[in-house]
Amino acid sequence: MSDETYVTHAVLKRFAENRINVPSEAARKRREQVNHLRARLEAHIAAHPDYDLVKLRASGSTAKHTAIRTRNGAGSDADVAAYLRSADPEIDEAKLLDWLCQRCQEVYGKTKVADDFVISQHAVGITLRGSGLKVDVAPVLYTGEDDDKGFLVTRQGQRVLTSVTLHLRFIGDRRKAAGPGYTELIRLLKAWIREAKSRDPYLRCKSFLLELVVAHLWDTGWNGHALQVEDYPAAFEQVLAYIATTGLQTPIAFSDFYSLDQVLPNHDSIQIWDPVNPENNVASSYTDADRRKLVDAAASALDSVNWAAMAPTQGAAYDAWRDLFGPTFPGA
């Protein structure tokens, strides 16, 4: 056993900078493409008066500075919230996503094929083949409330309260207190879960879930210690140990924008509540099998991290971390 630790904070930070963080040039090109969509979408919505476009807001990982680059080194996906208002109370909101998809198709005309547009539960996904960028445009019904509160509409026409502004404030407040290591740690964790999913396509773990686990540990600490955002190996161990030890069976909720007594316990396998909406468990669709699979993935990764800390050689330590990040680690 060696007294030297080979995978240090500096090693993981360098790996993040070289392999995970979105390059500035890729980010610039992504902004250009998103701005093109936003500018033209406004005109096409105006030509179809079912809905008025109130505003377009950047949202998701890109806006929160937690986006990671794609495997080919390009920028990550982008998210846009389209705040819409309808003057017709009788309009069928279940058709909103189809309506928005048609407007997005009009933006690109004959330059794209139908398969480049995919409607998910809350958004219209647009794949830009040239750059590999995928843009998700989520319609939000705007009711004039403060802080950009509005309602996402599912394919079934159900309303889900959200706020781009409050989501950004939620993570921004913690990043301001913790420093830039807070969001870079999240990016490293996203790279880990992406590698785990490449090995097990049935593993489920949305990036928002990881962001909320990190927020919870920043707020509460783990085993009497604050989240070590300035020591990435230690922070990784804390996050993985939390998932493995609790089995994600302890509810997580936040009191930034609502009182915790507004959260109603239920029987979902994982209960992690949206910090903007006390009625929205972001993991409500996860089964108990999904939970166990994610916990097992974290436990396996934790074993690798612990072994790396005691590894007798640099090569052995790097091999252990390659279990988390794949063969490109350390990405010098």
In this prediction, residue 168 has a pLDDT band, given cuts at 50, 70 and 90, of very high
pLDDT at 161: 94
Whether the pLDDT of residue 269 is over 70: the answer is yes
Q: How many CB atoms lie within 10 A of CB 150?
A: 25
pLDDT at 1: 45
Cα separation, 129 vs 210, whole angstroms: 28
pLDDT at 2: 52
Domain covering 22-162 assigned CATH 3.30.460.90 in the classification:
yes
Residues 80-116 have pLDDT tens digits of 999 999 878 778 888 999 999 999 998 888 778 888 9
Residue 76 tokens read as: 């990550």
Average pLDDT over residues 246-263: 97
Domain assignments of the chain as residue spans, ordered by start: 9-16+168-325, 22-162
Residue 45 tokens read as: 């919505």
Please list the residues that pair with 252 across neighbouring strands. 272
pLDDT at 15: 97
Domain covering 9-16+168-325 assigned CATH 1.10.1410 in the classification:
yes
Report the residue count for the chain.
Answer: 332
Residues 215-232 have pLDDT tens digits of 999 999 999 999 999 999
Going through the chain in order, the beta strands assigned E by DSSP cover 52-59, 78-85, 117-119, 124-128, 133-142, 149-153, 159-163
Residues 173-211 have pLDDT tens digits of 999 999 999 999 999 999 999 999 999 999 999 999 999
Average pLDDT over residues 316-322: 97
